[in-house]
């Protein structure tokens, strides 16, 4: 009865403004926080797409100055967070606005944590390690997938150890998420596919998580339905604004689900992989998803059956093992429909890397809520299957 409604459940979420043009309210929100100087975090790609200037101008229209920080890598690094803290403090900023994908948003969370609490970002790895409240965070996502704009996660790359650290705390749930589907129009098809599959993985992992409950299930299942029905069509026709909005809504719901139910082995193994080889997060998840479903299935058959039904697969008159097979096939088909065929070996992973990858995945926080408890050898076998 781990999912019974009588179990106490907590659900955290930012204030959310969803819809075309939501980004334009950024000035109002910064003003309502009493901001005089905003620390505006983004990355070079988002700046080139024009969204950074768009947001800066909206702040300026409210008479709010901004200090721009764009030295953020695709997997944000500890030294970038610390450089951001230095600039934030030197410029005496008072509110943090992030515009971009998961990387600028996670970096912005890191800057907020250290600017308020001192020390080094690595000191805050783990669950609930942040004592002091961080500056107000206003996030504007430009991808439909990572959901750092609604989640209590921050993932930072430790280049020295070639690993990603996870920070999980209510303190890093943004105050405001301005979720504007228009901003995702500048994603290329590969990014749309990777971030969309990341969102699907969030929803699936949240639904089978040992931390799942009624407050998260409804969002997880809605997300699975929305992404399944709309992601392939959006990749086929990137100008379809209705599909774009539906995928963004699915991503947001997946984010609300996983932020509160936490994740599982796909993310634990993907964090390990992304830290080791600096690969795109969504691609890492995509290469692992069906193999983790196959591994976990034994211990969460009822939950995977509901997922199969939500994906509109026929489950009547099918044995549990048949449902397992059609579900795995469906996930592979969905990935292929959006153009993702990659395997770990094609990305440079070798058999000799697997013990170290598995060791780091086993130390990742996301493994704690995976429905099937696993040891290092188990994870090694799943990586092997994905080679």
- Point out which residues bind Fe ion (CB under 5 A): 198
Q: Which is nearer to Fe ion, 180 or 198 (CB)?
A: 198
Return d(Cα 325, Cα 42) in angstroms, integer: 42
**DSSP reduced 3-state for 200:** helix
Return d(Cα 340, Cα 332) in angstroms, integer: 9
Q: How deeply is 50 buried, as exposed, middle or buried, from its count of CB atoms within 10 A (0-12, 13-18, 19+)?
A: exposed
* CA nearest neighbour of 169 among 132, 142, 211, 216: 132
**Planar angle of CA 43, 335, 377, nearest 5 degrees:** 90
Residue environment code for 331-366, b if the CB has 16+ CB neighbours within 10 A, otherwise e: beebbeebebebebeeeebeeebbeebbebbbebbb
Q: Residue 139 Cβ, how far from Fe ion at the closest point, in Å?
A: 16
**DSSP reduced 3-state for 240:** coil
If you ran DSSP here, which 8-state letter would residue 4 be given?
Answer: -
Nearest residue to Fe ion on Cβ basis: 198
Q: Which is nearer to Fe ion, 29 or 383 (CB)?
A: 383
Q: Residue 202 Cβ, how far from Fe ion at the closest point, in Å?
A: 6
Q: How far apart are the first and last CA of the chain?
A: 36
Q: Residue 106 Cβ, how far from Fe ion at the closest point, in Å?
A: 11
Q: How many residues does the chain have?
A: 387
Q: Residue 271 Cβ, how far from Fe ion at the closest point, in Å?
A: 9
Token output for 355: 């013990």
Q: Residue 122 Cβ, how far from Fe ion at the closest point, in Å?
A: 21
Q: Residue 307 Cβ, how far from Fe ion at the closest point, in Å?
A: 17
Q: Which is nearer to Fe ion, 59 or 361 (CB)?
A: 361
Q: Residue 253 Cβ, how far from Fe ion at the closest point, in Å?
A: 14
Q: Which is nearer to Fe ion, 58 or 156 (CB)?
A: 156
C-alpha dist (Å) from residue 34 to 24, 37, 147, 153, 164 = 18, 9, 26, 26, 34
Q: Which is nearer to Fe ion, 146 or 169 (CB)?
A: 146
* CA nearest neighbour of 213 among 275, 262, 152: 262
Q: Which is nearer to Fe ion, 149 or 198 (CB)?
A: 198
Q: Which is nearer to Fe ion, 35 or 147 (CB)?
A: 147
Q: Residue 280 Cβ, how far from Fe ion at the closest point, in Å?
A: 11
Q: Which is nearer to Fe ion, 54 or 198 (CB)?
A: 198
**DSSP reduced 3-state for 237:** coil
C-alpha dist (Å) from residue 161 to 49, 165, 204 = 33, 10, 29
Return d(Cα 270, Cα 287) in angstroms, integer: 9
If you ran DSSP here, which 8-state letter would residue 105 be given?
Answer: H
Q: Which is nearer to Fe ion, 198 or 380 (CB)?
A: 198
Q: Residue 326 Cβ, how far from Fe ion at the closest point, in Å?
A: 25
């Amino acid at each position: 009865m781990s999912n019974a409604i009588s179990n106490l459940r907590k659900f955290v979420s930012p204030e959310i403004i969803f819809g075309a043009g939501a980004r334009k309210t950024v000035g109002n929100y910064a003003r309502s926080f009493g901001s005089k100087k905003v620390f505006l975090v983004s990355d070079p790609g988002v700046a080139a797409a024009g969204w950074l200037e768009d947001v800066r101008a909206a702040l300026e229209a409210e008479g709010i100055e901004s200090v721009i920080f764009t030295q953020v890598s695709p997997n944000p690094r500890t030294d970038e967070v610390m450089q951001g803290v230095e600039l934030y403090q030197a410029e005496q900023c008072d509110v943090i606005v992030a515009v971009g994908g998961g990387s600028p948003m996670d970096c912005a969370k890191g800057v907020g944590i250290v600017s308020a609490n001192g020390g080094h970002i690595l000191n805050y790895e783990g669950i609930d390690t942040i004592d002091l409240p961080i500056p107000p965070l206003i996030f504007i996502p430009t991808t439909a997938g990572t959901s750092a704009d609604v989640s209590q996660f921050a993932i930072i790359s430790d280049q020295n150890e070639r690993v990603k650290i996870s920070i999980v705390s209510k303190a890093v749930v943004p105050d405001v998420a301005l979720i504007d589907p228009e901003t995702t129009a500048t994603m290329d098809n590969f990014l749309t596919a990777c971030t969309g599959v990341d969102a699907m993985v969030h929803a699936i992992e949240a639904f089978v998580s040992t931390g799942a409950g009624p407050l998260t299930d409804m969002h997880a299942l809605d997300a699975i339905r929305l992404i399944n029905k709309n992601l392939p069509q959006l990749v086929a026709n990137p100008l379809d604004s209705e599909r774009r909005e539906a995928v963004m809504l699915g991503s947001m719901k997946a984010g609300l689900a996983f932020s509160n139910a936490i994740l599982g082995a796909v993310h634990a193994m993907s964090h390990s992989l992304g830290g080791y080889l600096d690969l795109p997060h969504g691609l890492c998840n995509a290469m692992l998803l069906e193999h983790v479903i196959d591994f976990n299935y034994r211990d969460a058959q009822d939950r995977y059956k509901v997922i199969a039904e939500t994906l509109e697969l026929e489950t009547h008159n099918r044995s549990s093992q048949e449902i397992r097979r059609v579900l795995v096939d469906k996930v592979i088909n969905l990935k292929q429909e959006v153009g993702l065929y990659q395997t770990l070996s094609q990305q440079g992973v070798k058999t000799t890397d697997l013990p170290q990858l598995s060791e780091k995945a086993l130390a990742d926080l996301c493994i704690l809520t995976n429905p099937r408890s696993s040891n290092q050898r188990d994870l090694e076998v799943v990586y092997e299957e994905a080679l």
